[in-house]
Amino acid sequence: MQAFFVELGYFLATVWSNVWRWALRKRRNLALTVGVIIVLFVVVATIMQGASSRPTARPTATPTPTPTEVYTEVTARPVAGGEGTGTATPTPEPTETAPADEAEKAARQWATDYLERPSAEDTSWKTELEAYTIPSVVAQLDGQAFRPEGILYGKAPTTVTDVTISAPPQDAETSTPVRWSRSLAATVQAQDGSTTKVTFGIVLMQSDKGWMVTSVEEISVEEEG
């Protein structure tokens, strides 16, 4: 469009130069020339107004392609020499409550089997203890409460009337989920009417056979009124 108007300008300038020289020769030619100029101005103005009123063509927007999302499955692998990144199921810690109940039950049974004697010559208690007491402990029990110089010597038959469980001695082994360490005090009633309180430090260990008595220490033997 701009080139068109430039060419048109050159053309009109040429025409104007020739027409103006021609118009100056006669008055009639001048009037005609002025009329032609007016007509040309009207035509040019009309053309320019029409050109400016046309809507400007807008470039068509090219739609932007939507990016395609690609999902890749990634499998987590454990780091070499380290722990896996997955959520591990926590391993429940062993509780002492249930095992401790079973251990205490075994300890009370041990006191009854050991201290109740139908007669001085009876040895059946050894057979009973061997089921849940290690051999070395069974062997040492002969030299404790019922030994000839012991306080229970010659008092059979005897009966255990009470067993009390309390905290272990200060130098005792530490209790764990598989080791039970306590003090045990048994009250023994003899045929002569006397009452004796025998206190032990006792340790039991859990095994495939259940709770086993692995250590017994006689702490004190006291005759009560």
Would you tell me the crossing angle of helices 2-23 and 27-53 to the nearest 10 degrees? 170
> What is the pLDDT, as a whole number, of residue 4?
65
In a domain, 200, yes or no: yes
- The better pLDDT of the pair 57, 193 is held by 193
- The better pLDDT of the pair 60, 114 is held by 114
Domain count, the chain: 2
Q: Are residues 138 and 207 in the same domain?
A: yes
> What is the pLDDT, as a whole number, of residue 35?
73
Q: Look at residue 166 and give its three-state secondary structure.
A: strand
Q: Are residues 120 and 210 in the same domain?
A: yes
- The better pLDDT of the pair 126, 142 is held by 126
Distances (CA, A) of 166 to 104, 133, 207: 10, 20, 23
Q: Look at residue 190 and give its three-state secondary structure.
A: strand
**pLDDT, tens only, 39-64:** 777 766 777 776 555 555 555 555 55
Residue 216 has pLDDT above 70, yes or no: yes
> What is the pLDDT, as a whole number, of residue 73?
37
**Residue 176 forms beta bridges with which residues?**
179
> What is the pLDDT, as a whole number, of residue 5?
63
Q: Which of 45-54, 164-173, 194-203 has the lowest mean pLDDT?
A: 45-54
Phi, psi dihedral angles at 66 (to 5 degrees): -75, 125
Domain interval for residue 138 = 97-224
Q: Are residues 129 and 220 in the same domain?
A: yes
> What is the pLDDT, as a whole number, of residue 190?
96
In a domain, 71, yes or no: no
Q: Are 190 and 196 in contact (CB under 8 A)?
A: yes
